[in-house]
Amino acid sequence: MVEEGKEIIESIQAGPVRDAALIGGAQKVEHYEIAAYGTLAALAKQLGYKDALKLLLETLAEEKATDEKLTRLAEQGGNQRAAREQKAA
C-alpha cells in the first residue's frame, strides 16, 4: 500500500486527482486496519482477554473514526474537484 501511494505521487500531477487518489489509498489502509483490529478483538473476546479487548476496541473505534473523516473529506469536494479536472482535460 505504501508503494501504491508512492506510485500515485510519482505518476499523477499534483492537484485534485492526485488528492482523490491519495484519499482512496489512505482509506484502503484504514479498511485493512479495521479488519485486523476487528479480528483481533473477536479473538480476544473469545479467549477472555478483557484488558486486551478493551484496548483493541478503542483502537478499532479510532480507525473507524479516521475512515469516516476520510470519507467526509472525499465527499466534501475532493472527488468532485477531481472529476471536474478530468472532464476538463
For the domain that residue 40 is a member of, what is the CATH number?
1.20.1260.10
Count of CB atoms within 10 A of residue 69's CB? Answer: 12
C-alpha cell recorded at residue 7: 506510485
Give residue-wise pLDDT tens across range 38-84.
999 999 999 999 999 999 999 999 999 999 999 999 888 765 665 66
Give residue-wise pLDDT tens across range 1-33.
778 888 888 899 888 888 889 999 999 999 999
- Domain total of the chain: 1
Threshold 0.95, pTM exceeds = no
Distance in angstroms (rounded) separating the CA atoms of residues 26 and 21: 9
Question: How distant, in Å, are the alpha carbons of 24, 30, 75, 88 from that of 81?
Answer: 14, 23, 10, 11
Per the structure, the complete domain to which residue 7 belongs is given by 2-88
